[in-house]
A and B are shown apart, each in its own frame.
Chain A
Amino acid sequence: MIVGLDMGGTHIDGVIVEDGKIINTVKKPTNRDNLFESIWTTLEELLSGYDKSNIRRINLSTTVSTNAIVEGKTSPVGMIIQSGPGLPTDFLACGDENVFISGYIDHRGTVVKELDLEEVERGLKLFKEKGIESCGVVTKFSTRNPSHELVIKEMAEKDFNPVTMGHSMSGKLNFPRRVYTSYLNSAVYDTFNEFADNIKKSMEREGIDAPLFVLKADGGTMNLSTAEEKPVETILSGPAASFMGINAMLKTDRDALLLDIGGTTTDIFFLADGIPLFEPLGIKIDRYKTLVRAIYSYSIGLGGDSSIKVEDGKLKIGPKREGRPYAFGGPMPTPTDAMIVLDLIEDGDRDKAHKAMDILGKELGLSIEDVAKKVLDTMGGIIKHEVDGLLYEINSHPVYTVEELLYGKEVQPEVINIIGGPAKVLKPILEEKFKLPCHYPENYHIANAVGAALAKTTTEITMVADTARGILSVPELEVYEKISRHYTLDSARDRALQLLEESALSLGAKEDELELEVTEESVFNMVRGFFTSGQNIRIKAQVKPGLIQELRSDRVV
């Protein structure tokens, strides 16, 4: 048995999957004041009557960290930031106290100016005086050389917990994002760890000794102990859960457009040859752009309950939801009302739905039925318009080689897979607008929990091997090893895949489910004077996000 739990803003969904079949489901309301309580009651109800010793794993998508950030209920953090020369620095101040220190490391990882330890001491003293217990330490180019971050961590460790170091968050270059990501990691650390402790205790009490995994925004999972160290990775996993759910229920290996159409919003995702598209650097939460790897997703204010107005003789749907649909006692006409009028939904007060369409019809000079049809057509039109814009942006992402510019892959969806309430109704409309086949699963309402249940363990690494300096680095794994002058791209690639596999296993992956791939690789001849001084090798590799097992039972329409 695999258990999947998806904690959303209003509901928690739970499923049990066994041999690719969904054998039980539960839906409970979320109590935002006690998220642990909500999770636990859902889990108990889901498991009642099942043998707990048969649980192979529990996968959980949780909003604990997300809520803490969005609601401003995070721990105070002291940030030590070494920004070196470059951009102005004031915008980096994200902690409750921010200490900017001297010293700097350049793009090759050379220490140009040493740390001033007294400055660091003074900063730590300030944090203590202010009652701050959590720290973040980030230096520019720490991915190339983490020595300053390591020294500072050692100084801070005895009085502070956690001390998040920038280079351990991501191997990608982007100093401001590394600062924000480290800050957020320390800021949600206590909240998440308290939640994790509660879960662990309760599981122990109930005699559940299955491994617990937490869903990440990239559609993969990590084990609880990793999540405890990097709780920032648990933010915004909700869209990833629904994304994985769509993939579990509707399998494809082609370019695809995936839609999750809800009451208030529509989430848009893409697959390229069946592989998810990621955010280029990381996800944005609150006002922070981060390095937290995430599925590319774009949310628009359009859903079944979006309010509809007439503006300049045209229907305007969304972006706001003013309440329930008119047919359910709400204040404004909505797409749901249109669906009721057209007999596409049997729920709700039909008279009220007619009234809603009549309000719009009078303004537009259309019959009730024609307005209802126009509402759905407009909805399809909005989605098409947004998707076209996103595809244009995606397909014009910066490239850096002649090869890619001339022959690079473009994402051109060949199929649309949708989940959500209005899926069935919108299928023919979207098929017409996009001229593409469109599918939806029958059990769409539990897609998120299924997605969470079946998500594999994933990870990604960024490697730079500089044979002139004789150093190979994978910052996020804290790997900095010596290499010889004759180190080659082939040896670097082998080492990258080996490190990636070790990392995935330590995150809880099973050996037989690992799918490793190199996503980028390049090698540069470094020349100083008139002679080759070495090779600069760069590799990115990932464990492909995917499903632990194929779903067998769901009927696709």
Chain B
Amino acid sequence: MFKAKNRLGLVFFPAFDWAISSTHPEREERLLYTQDQIFEEGIEDIDGIHFYNPIVAEERDIERVHFCVPDVKTRLTKSHFISVGGAIRAFKSIMDGEVDKAFALVRPPGHHAHRVVYGDRGFCVVNVEAVMLEKIRQEYGDLRVAIVDTDCHHGDGTQDIYWNDKDTLFISFHQDGRTLYPGTGFMDEFGGPSGYGYNINIPLPPGTGNEGFLYVLDNVVLPILDEYKPDIIINSAGQDNHYTDPITNMNFTAKGYAELNHRLDPDIAVLEGGYSIEGALPYINLGIILAMAGIDYSHVMEPDYDEEKLRQPMDITEYIKELSDTVYDRWKNRYELSRHNLKDTDVVERSRQIFYDTDRILEEQTQRFRVCRHCSGLNTVESRSSTGYNIFGITIPRDACSKCIDDGHKLYKNTPSGRYSNIYLQDRVNDEFFK
């Protein structure tokens, strides 16, 4: 066999004994054909590619990121702890210098899981990337990180978790929310007061193909990353932009995914969605593995690939060019936009309804972000669910000043317990969780 240019760590955990239900897209079969393809290609024999088993994440790893209601044990299955643990293991293999890059092929996915968790939405319960990243930050120190969400659905959970964090740049390109679940991910969702401009959405029209995706990558994502200069780039690697995906309407290909990963050059990729399990996943995953390992991926192709049929129409190309200009201009003007929007405010309030499609739960929440001159600012969430909970969550951010830390603890102590079914405090400075 030959040698990979980049040492690549793979956590391949198909969870062959776990499903949301036996006919649900998140079922045992999902990575079966991907495994067949990886095995038949002899990936495990390539010099420089290493396979790792997941570790099992701990409750406190979840609590560092989420307010699980009523608690972590009630909301998560063993598979969730392993899926997250798989991503953590992959990230560790980079941090410990075992490999140069890593790809965690784990399930279930996580990018629709918000900070508050009442149940499963968009097949996600815990946010795999966020729990992974915060665990790594806790163990290895602060990192400036860019998460690029390449799933076809808007990564609304990841956006929510890093909404107010300018040290975690979140870029999501996805099928326009007016045409697809979860219905969010528009340009004006630009971040909280401390992270304004560091949450970037690029809603793409249905029918976007290789040309469009790579245009956005080259003209928006890569220039922004160049300026942002992250320590680590994470690809939140959903595969449902594929032209055969049953629940979306895009025209991306396996070779396109490989090319994207080659150009984006992420340090770590984590599998998100993607439900064309036979016609797409085996080829996309192979393409991503080869691209990340620095191996020629030009022979990767789907059985029914037809270049002509997948060519992107002119009007879509034009639309995407204009969109890209707008998004990039907004990034360039983020300080001005921020000054304009946040003039003289002490607290920014944001109220939303969140629907849990998988578990049929409706949540109403109000977040309050304190605008603090010394740190990202204390923030809180008040939330009630159709399942009868009524919670109050307080987050002291990683970079909190001493006043915000003190105020956070005071607020936790002084909030009358009778007013809420559950009160939580995340103290990220001291890595403590109170419930």
A399 at the interface (CB under 8 A from B): yes
Contact A173 B15 (CB under 8 A): no
The answer to whether B42 and A402 touch across the interface, beta carbons within 8 angstroms, is: no
Kindly specify which of A87-95, A123-131, A218-226, A242-250 makes contact with the partner chain.
Answer: A87-95
CB pair A85–B45 under 8 Å, yes or no, is no
- Bound CA span A531–B22, Å: 10
Once the chains are docked, how many angstroms separate the CA of A257 from the CA of B16? 31
Contact with A along B14-28 (1 / 0, CB 8 A): 111110001100011
In chain A, positions 462-489 with a C-beta closer than 8 Å to chain B are: none
B37 in the interface (beta carbon within 8 A) = yes
Judge whether A140 and B40 touch: CB under 8 Å. yes
Q: Does B301 contact A (CB under 8 A)?
A: yes
- Asked whether A106 and B1 contact (CB < 8 A) given A141-B40, A173-B39, A405-B82, the answer is no
CA distance A3 to B238 in the complex (A): 61
**B23:A525 contact, CB within 8 angstroms:** yes
Within 8 A of B (CB), among A165-195: 172-177
Chain B, Cβ-Cβ closest to A529: B246
Say if the beta carbon of B296 comes within 8 Å of chain A: yes
B278 within 8 A of A: yes
> Closest Cβ of chain A: how far from B244's Cβ, in Å?
12
Which residue of chain B has the shortest Cβ distance to A522 in the bound complex? B16
Q: Is residue B419 contacting chain A, with contact meaning CB distance below 8 A? A: no
Task: Collect the chain A residues with CB atoms within 8 Å of residue B15's CB.
Answer: 400-402
Which A residues between 103 and 145 are near B, CB-CB below 8 angstroms?
A: 104, 106-108, 110, 112, 140-141
A177 / chain B contacts, CB cutoff of 8 Å: 42, 45
B215 within 8 A of A: no
**Nearest residue, chain A, Cβ from B283:** A85
Instruction: Knowing A108-B278, A406-B78, A524-B32, say if A174 contacts B300 (CB, 8 Å).
Output: no
- Residues of A within 8 Å of B, CB-based: how many? 43
Name B23's contact: one of A86, A107, A527 (CB within 8 Å). A527
User: A189: shortest Cβ distance to chain B, in Å?
Assistant: 24
Whether A86 pairs with B29 at a CB distance below 8 angstroms is no
**B367: A residues at CB distance < 8 A:** none
Look across to chain B and name the residue whose beta carbon is closest to the beta carbon of A287: B1
How many chain B residues touch A (CB < 8 A): the figure is 45
* Interface flag for A503 (CB, 8 Å): no
Interface membership of A532, Cβ < 8 A? yes
* Chain B, range 39-68, C-beta contacts under 8 Å to A: 39-42, 44-45, 51-54, 56
Contact A532 B23 (CB under 8 A): yes
Asked whether A401 lies within 8 Å of B17 as measured between CB atoms, the reply is: yes
B27 touches A527 (CB 8 A): yes
In the docked arrangement, what's the CA distance between A177 and B44, Å?
Answer: 11
Is residue B79 within 8 Å, beta carbon to beta carbon, of the partner chain? yes
**A107 & B52 in contact (Cβ 8 Å cutoff):** no
Q: B138 on the interface (CB 8 Å rule)?
A: no
Interface: B303 (CB within 8 A): yes
Cross-interface CB contact of B301 among A85, A176, A289, cutoff 8 Å: A85
B224 within 8 A of partner (CB): no
Q: Which of A106, A112, A399 has the most CB of B within 10 A?
A: A106
Segment 289-314 of B: residues with Cβ below 8 Å from A: 290, 295-296, 299-301, 303
Query: Which residue on chain B has the smallest CB distance to residue A396?
Result: B53
Q: Is A86 a contact of B41 with CB atoms below 8 Å?
A: yes
B45, A405: Cβ atoms closer than 8 Å: no
Q: What residues of chain B lie closer than 8 Å to A532, measured between beta carbons?
A: 22-23
B317 within 8 A of A: no
Give A111's nearest chain B residue, CB to CB.
Answer: B303
B29 touching A107, Cβ below 8 Å: no
Asked if B79 contacts A88 (CB within 8 A), the reply is: no
Question: Smallest Cβ distance from B248 to chain A, in angstroms?
Answer: 15
Complex: chain A residue closest to B299, CB-CB:
A85
At the interface, yes or no: A49 with Cβ under 8 Å from chain B? no
The answer to whether A87 and B53 have CB atoms under 8 Å apart is: no
**In whole angstroms, what is the CA distance A377 to B96 when docked?**
33
Q: Does A207 contact B (CB under 8 A)?
A: no
Contacts of A405 in B (CB 8 A): 13, 53-54, 56, 82
A398 CA to B78 CA in the complex, in Å?
18
Q: Is A174 a contact of B78 with CB atoms below 8 Å?
A: no
Task: Digitize A375-407: 1 where CB-to-B-CB distance is under 8 Å, 0 elsewhere.
Answer: 000000000000000000000111111110110
Q: Which chain B positions have C-beta within 8 A of A281?
A: 44
Q: Is the CB of A107 within 8 A of B40?
A: yes
In the assembled complex, how far is the CB of residue A262 from the closest CB belonging to chain B, in whole angstroms? 29
B299–A174 touching, CB < 8 Å: no
Q: Which of B27, B53, B278 has the most CB of A within 10 A?
A: B53
With a cutoff of 8 Å between Cβ atoms, the chain B residues found around residue A140 in the complex are 40
Nearest Cβ distance between residue B40 and chain A, in whole angstroms?
A: 4
The answer to whether B51 touches A176, judged by C-beta atoms less than 8 angstroms apart, is: no
Q: Report B-chain residues with C-beta under 8 Å of the C-beta of A402.
A: 15, 17-18, 78-79, 82
Task: Given A402-B15, A402-B82, check contact A112 B303 (CB 8 Å).
Answer: yes
Contact B53 A531 (CB under 8 A): no
Shortest CB-to-CB span from B254 to chain A, Å, is 9
Give Cα A104 to B301, complex, Å: 11
Give the docked Cα–Cα distance between A107 and B42 (Å): 14
Task: Tell me the nearest residue of chain B to A105, going by C-beta.
Answer: B303
Nearest B residue to A143, CB-CB: B40
Residues of A within 8 A of B82 (CB): 402, 405
Closest to B10 in A: A398
Closest Cβ of chain B: how far from A126's Cβ, in Å?
A: 23
Complex formed: what's the CA distance from A108 to B33 in Å?
8
Check B12–A398 contact: CB distance below 8 A. yes
| B23 near A530: Cβ-Cβ < 8 Å | yes
A473 CB to nearest chain B CB (Å): 13
Measured CB to CB, the nearest residue on chain B to A85 is B301
The answer to whether the Cβ of B286 comes within 8 Å of any Cβ in the partner chain is: yes
Could you give, for residues 262-304 of chain B, a 1 whenever the CB lies within 8 Å of some chain A CB and a 0 otherwise? 0000000000000000100011001000100001100111010
Interchain CA distance A532-B23 in the complex, whole Å:
7
CA distance A177 to B45 in the complex (A): 9
Complex Cα–Cα for A87 and B46 (A): 11
Closest to B33 in A: A107
Residues of B within 8 A of A397 (CB): 53
Within 8 A of B (CB), among A514-548: 522, 524-527, 529-532, 536
- The distance from the CB of B310 to the nearest CB of chain A, in whole angstroms, is 16
Complex Cα gap A59–B18 (Å): 47
Are B300 and A88 in contact, CB atoms less than 8 angstroms apart? no
Assembled-state Cα–Cα distance A85/B52 (Å)? 26
Contact indicator B29/A526 (Cβ below 8 Å):
yes
Give Cα distance in the complex from A85 to B286, angstroms. 11
The CA of A402 and the CA of B81, in the complex, are separated in Å by 10
Select A110's contact among B2, B36, B42, B303, beta carbons within 8 Å. Answer: B303
Contact yes or no, B286 A86, CB < 8 A? yes
Inter-subunit contact B300/A173 (CB<8 Å): no
**B166, chain A: closest CB distance, angstroms:** 37
B35 at the interface (CB under 8 A from A): yes
Min CB distance, A449 to chain B, in Å? Answer: 34
Instruction: Identify B1's interface contact among A91, A107, A399, CB under 8 A.
Output: A91
Q: How far is the CA of A172 from the CA of B45 in the complex (A)?
A: 14
B42 touches A531 (CB 8 A): no
Name A206-233 residues within 8 Å CB distance of B.
none
CB-CB < 8 A to B29: which residues of A? 524-527, 536
Which chain B residues border A398 with CB–CB below 8 Å? Answer: 12, 51-53
CB < 8 Å: which of B2, B52, B282 contacts A396? B52
Per-position contact with A for B401-418: 1 when CB-CB < 8 Å, else 0? 000000000000000000
CB-based closest 7 A-B pairs: A173-B39, A176-B42, A85-B301, A173-B40, A112-B303, A401-B17, A107-B36
> Can you report 7 residue pairs joining A to B where beta carbons are below 8 Å apart?
A86-B41, A107-B36, A140-B40, A176-B45, A400-B16, A522-B16, A524-B29
